[in-house]
């Protein structure tokens, strides 16, 4: 199948807004390039507002040309639908990189973390300063959605910023409505939480949170709900880095503290200033850090090599807004950017107890190709072998495990009335480890299937897509598939038992689900309503 001049190799995923493919483009003399193609879903072609947002993204991001920003190669229209052709990245995003390093008892070195964030700051500084090529006027671009999911690191040591989908441009046609807060709450500075006018220091603050999380695996502010977290961001001091990790040099802790200043006038004035501070710190350690050292750090976590095959991506649902306040607070499904990993000539990781010959599969990735996503993450983990489902962590008394409207703290007087674009729950779990100690191994659509209980490997199968809010670790017939979002998987026809576990909410829900052969089956569950 072709879309314009691009041959579609396989579908990676279908989300609420677009479908994403691994694609190739061929040319004379045997030329061939592999890339990612994102196409608007047919029913959204009639949505003028969404199409305008998509076009705006294409116009904006196609102009950005920097080694630390994922590239857009092409934009076009074919068969009545618009598409973007994007760079394929071979490596994890920062969240997955950090989590897998921690799971192996090898926390990332402070100088490596500082260098990676410095390079991301360089890419963002370029975007902030980018001027219209025709007029020479600065566009005033702000990313507004910087997070560990939207910064990628490749096996070659390259660092890339992705997902400018909700980027704000001064004077842009498609404006954010007054009082709308967009982005992931955990990475928002106080002024964004309060719906104040924003400037480039929003991204400086977010990079400070990213660096904090990359070093510690935790967030500087915690809250059971988005509103509680916003209150903490506005009114409480961040938890010191040293409380979570004692070996982080005080000079680096001071840089993080400056980036996280509540008063933006006390923060670094822009990403270039933050980059300079981080580069000075790296030099002060006496250990050179470049692409080679970053690549080595990545290889320590992602050791296998093979032919490039992307892990699945899912798309962020169309942005919806809801009023904020004590009487109403809605949890959100905002999933984050995705990257592509290699399938391998696999060998087990001795340090995770894999047995000889046990197959490794690419881990599924949280995806967000809202308006631009060039990448995301995937790491290789052990294939699920059916461990017992974990006991849920005890839910704290401050509202976790209750419906979102229950246990919500009173609104701080510092918080202005604002509509909050539905945002993901905090991506890290500071109060409890992940649901078990195994490396997560979600299933890639065309690579893994589940046999029937009767052992018939040739049974007729259907596909299953899991749509679980806000997220969960999924078990199929007692076997762990991994944490959502998962790719579309093949499952034998018949009745199956699906269990969704979310320790943050204190929820474990089991459902019987019938899979029909030859059919695209969708399992839907909203844990906040259970």
Map out the domains of the chain as residue ranges: 94-421, 461-529
What was the pLDDT predicted at 3? 86
In CATH, what number does 94-421 get?
Answer: 1.10.510.10
Q: Which is nearest to 159 in space by CA: 93, 103, 224?
A: 93
pTM listed for this prediction = 0.58
Segments of the chain scoring below 70 in pLDDT: 13, 15-16, 57, 165-183, 303-459
**In the sheet that 2-3 helps form, which strands lie side by side, from edge to edge?**
2-3, 6-14, 18-26, 32-40, 81-86, 72-78
∠ Cα 188 194 199 (to 5°): 60
Residue 145 is a catalytic residue: yes
What was the pLDDT predicted at 469? 82
In angstroms, rounded to a whole number, what is the distance separating the alpha carbons of residues 296 and 487? Answer: 29
In angstroms, rounded to a whole number, what is the distance separating the alpha carbons of residues 276 and 268? Answer: 10
426: left (phi over 0), alpha (psi -120 to 50) or beta: beta
What was the pLDDT predicted at 16? 65
Name the β-bridge partners of 509.
500
283: left (phi over 0), alpha (psi -120 to 50) or beta: alpha
Dump pLDDT digits (tens) for 454-485. Answer: 444 445 888 998 989 888 899 999 999 988 87
- Same fold for the pair 94-421 and 461-529: no
What was the pLDDT predicted at 506? 79
Pair of tokens at residue 248: 């982080």
Tell me which of 145, 163, 270, 438 is the catalytic residue.
145
Pair of tokens at residue 400: 């976790």
254: which residues sit within 8 A by CB, 6+ positions away? none
Q: Which is nearest to 251 in space by CA: 224, 284, 208?
A: 284
Q: Which is nearest to 379 in space by CA: 342, 350, 347, 433?
A: 342
Domain 461-529, what architecture? Answer: Sandwich (2.60)
What was the pLDDT predicted at 79? 79
Dump pLDDT digits (tens) for 53-107. Answer: 777 767 777 888 999 998 888 888 887 788 889 888 888 899 999 998 998 888 9
What was the pLDDT predicted at 82? 86
Q: Which is nearest to 220 in space by CA: 247, 192, 186, 194?
A: 186
């Amino acid at each position: 199948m072709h879309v314009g001049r691009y041959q579609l190799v396989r579908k990676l995923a279908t989300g609420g807004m677009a479908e994403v493919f691994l694609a190739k483009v061929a040319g004379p003399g045997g030329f061939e390039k592999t890339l990612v193609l994102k196409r608007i879903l047919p029913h959204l072609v009639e949505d003028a507002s969404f199409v305008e947002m998509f076009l705006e993204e294409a116009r904006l991001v196609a102009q950005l040309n920097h080694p630390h920003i994922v590239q857009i190669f092409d934009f076009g229209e074919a068969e009545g639908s618009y598409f973007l052709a994007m760079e394929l990245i071979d490596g994890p995003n920062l969240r997955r990189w950090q989590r897998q390093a921690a799971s192996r008892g090898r926390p990332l070195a402070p100088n490596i973390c500082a260098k990676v964030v410095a390079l991301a700051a360089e890419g963002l500084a370029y975007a902030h300063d980018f001027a219209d090529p025709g007029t020479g006027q600065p566009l005033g671009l702000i990313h507004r959605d910087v997070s560990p999911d939207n910064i990628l690191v490749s096996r070659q040591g390259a660092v890339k910023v992705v997902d400018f989908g909700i980027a704000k441009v001064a004077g842009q046609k498609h404006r954010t409505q007054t009082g709308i807060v967009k982005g992931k709450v955990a990475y928002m500075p106080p002024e964004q939480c309060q719906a104040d006018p924003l400037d480039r220091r929003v991204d400086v603050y977010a990079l400070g949170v990213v660096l904090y999380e990359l070093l510690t695996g935790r967030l500087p502010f915690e809250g059971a709900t988005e509103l509680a977290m916003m209150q903490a961001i506005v009114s409480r001091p961040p938890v010191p880095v040293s409380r979570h990790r004692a070996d982080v040099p005080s000079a680096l802790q001071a840089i993080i503290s400056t980036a996280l200043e509540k008063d933006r006038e006390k923060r670094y004035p822009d990403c270039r200033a933050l980059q300079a501070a981080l580069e000075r710190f790296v030099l002060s350690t006496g250990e050179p850090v470049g692409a080679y050292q970053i690549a080595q750090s990545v290889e320590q976590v992602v050791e296998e090599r093979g032919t490039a095959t992307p892990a699945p991506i899912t798309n962020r649902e169309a942005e919806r807004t809801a009023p904020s306040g004590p009487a109403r607070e809605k949890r959100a499904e905002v999933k984050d950017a995705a990257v592509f990993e290699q399938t391998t000539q696999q060998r087990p990781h001795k340090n995770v107890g894999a047995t000889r010959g046990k197959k490794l599969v690419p881990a599924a990735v949280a995806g967000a190709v809202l308006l631009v996503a060039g990448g995301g993450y995937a790491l290789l983990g052990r294939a699920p072998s059916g461990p017992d489902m974990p006991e849920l962590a005890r839910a704290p008394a401050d509202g976790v495990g209750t419906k979102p409207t229950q246990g919500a703290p009173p609104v701080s007087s510092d918080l202005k009335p604002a509509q909050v674009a539905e945002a993901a729950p905090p991506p890290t779990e500071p109060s409890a480890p992940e649901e078990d100690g195994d490396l997560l191994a979600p299933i890639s659509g065309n690579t893994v299937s589940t046999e029937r209980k009767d052992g018939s490997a040739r049974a007729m199968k259907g596909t299953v897509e899991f749509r679980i809010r806000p997220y969960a670790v999924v078990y199929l017939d007692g076997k762990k598939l991994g944490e959502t979002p998962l790719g579309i998987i093949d499952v034998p026809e018949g009745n199956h038992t699906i269990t969704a576990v979310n320790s943050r909410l204190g929820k474990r829900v089991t459902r019987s689900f019938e899979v029909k052969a030859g059919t695209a089956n969708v399992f839907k569950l909203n844990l906040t309503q259970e």
